[in-house]
Structure 1
Amino acid sequence: MHSPASLHAVRRLGPIGVLMAVALTACYPTFNWRELRPEGTPLQALLPCKPETAERSVPLGGAPTVLHMHSCKAGGLTFALAWANAPDATAAPATLSDWQRASLAAIRVDPVLHTDPAHRWSATVAGATLVQGITAQGTDPQGQVVQARTVYFARDAQVFQAAIYGPASDEVSATFFGGLKLP
């Protein structure tokens, strides 16, 4: 098996790295990591499967906002990456706060927990000006227990969410969240 650090080194190698990444997929038969660069953003991310994409209008920061989403399922986990444009950079913190509350409510968790230090984790995203990690356990619309590990981050007026739904291993979490960067 190869460590998340070796995957990051592969991505930095450019075209040669892509060829090496293809060779490394034999080490991760369940997780076929690939780079995603969502159009309209500088974001670079790694997803373990081919994502589906969608857009919808949601109320964030007190205004209808177009939310761009990419998600896929692998190894019994759901991986999601979404982004939106806040009205301006000063609105990004409030927009992220609204997004956190809405996401927790969607899995039937008290939205107040987004400020509870017991539900925070130390997340980092290279190039982000604001980063907040949240973990929670709730229930999905079918009443099944769901674990969520999420990072919310921003640069200027663009706000982002990256999440894993399900009991992800430390290695999978490190690869997914470590693959996020805003160069």
Structure 2
Amino acid sequence: MQRSFLAALFALMCLWALSACSPTFDWRELRLEPSNLKAMLPCKPDKASRPVPMAGRQVELQVQGCDAGGATFAVLSADLGDASRSGEALAHWKQATLSNLRTAKGQERPFLPPGGIALRESLQVVATGTRADGSRVESHAAYFARGSRVFQAVIYAGTLKPEWADTFFNSLRFE
């Protein structure tokens, strides 16, 4: 299950890497339907979706993301259909992301966007790892939920700048 999820996530990230987006930051607000999550991205996002295994079932992973200034910004979500599985799904998602980065652990702190549900697994995780090509990558990700829908907001870059993360993660909120 974890390998399929990692493969799907990697394929979606490759799509963004191939997409052309302005190298400058042009922050814009987007709204992810049907969740009513608002987020700011520094460029016009591409959209994709793909079925993936998560929390013991097949779900549709929806992704909006773009590349700007040498970084990839993305917001991913999936509806589990069962809110009681959200914590488990977030924990597995975090572990799958760290495995994909070829690292075992990151620096964690609680994260709860306005309107989200308070779960022990709702976290921000900052980690340094290795891309598939062997190059160094820094990741700053947030894992959170609302109802039966789980989310990951993430930035990948060779070197992350704190102001990118501040703008991106502080913009996350539910209406």
TM over 0.5: yes
Query: Which residue is equivalent to 1:145?
Result: 136
Query: Which residue is equivalent to 2:50?
Result: 56
Identical aligned pairs, as a percentage? 39
Query: Which residue is equivalent to 1:134?
Result: 125
Question: In 2, Cα distance between the equivalents of 1:173 and 1:133?
Answer: 11
Query: Which residue is equivalent to 1:101?
Result: 95
Higher Rg of the two aligned structures = 1
2:107 pairs, out of 95, 106, 119, with: 119
Listed one character per residue, the Cα deviations across residues 44-85 of structure 1 (whole Å, up to 9, x for unaligned) are: 000000111111111111211110011111111110110001
Q: How many residues align?
A: 149
Quote the offset at 1:168 in angstroms: 2.5
2:31 pairs, out of 15, 28, 37, with: 37
Question: In 1, Cα distance between the equivalents of 2:161 and 2:114?
Answer: 22
Question: In 2, Cα distance between the equivalents of 1:156 and 1:66?
Answer: 16
Contact 2:139/2:154 (<8 A) preserved: yes
Matched residue SS, 2:174: coil
Matched residue SS, 1:44: strand
TM-score (norm 1): 0.77
Question: In 2, Cα distance between the equivalents of 1:162 and 1:78?
Answer: 11
Contact 2:139/2:160 (<8 A) preserved: no
TM-score (norm 2): 0.80
Query: Which residue is equivalent to 1:91?
Result: 85
Question: In 1, Cα distance between the equivalents of 2:167 and 2:160?
Answer: 11
Q: Does 1:160 align with 2:151?
A: yes
Matched residue SS, 2:37: coil
Quote the offset at 1:164 in angstroms: 0.8
Listed one character per residue, the Cα deviations across residues 120-169 of structure 1 (whole Å, up to 9, x for unaligned) are: 03434111113311111111111111110000000110110001112222
The one-letter amino acid paired with 1:173 is A
Unpaired segments of 5 or more residues in structure 2? 1-22
Query: Which residue is equivalent to 1:12?
Result: none
Unpaired segments of 5 or more residues in structure 1? 1-28
Aligned alpha-carbon RMSD (Å): 1.5
User: 5 Å matches for 1:19-30?
Assistant: 30=24
Poorly superposed stretches of 4+, deviation over 6 Å:
none
Select the structure that is richer in strand.
2
Query: Which residue is equivalent to 1:77?
Result: 71
Listed one character per residue, the Cα deviations across residues 14-56 of structure 1 (whole Å, up to 9, x for unaligned) are: xxxxxxxxxxxxxxx9210011111221100000001111111
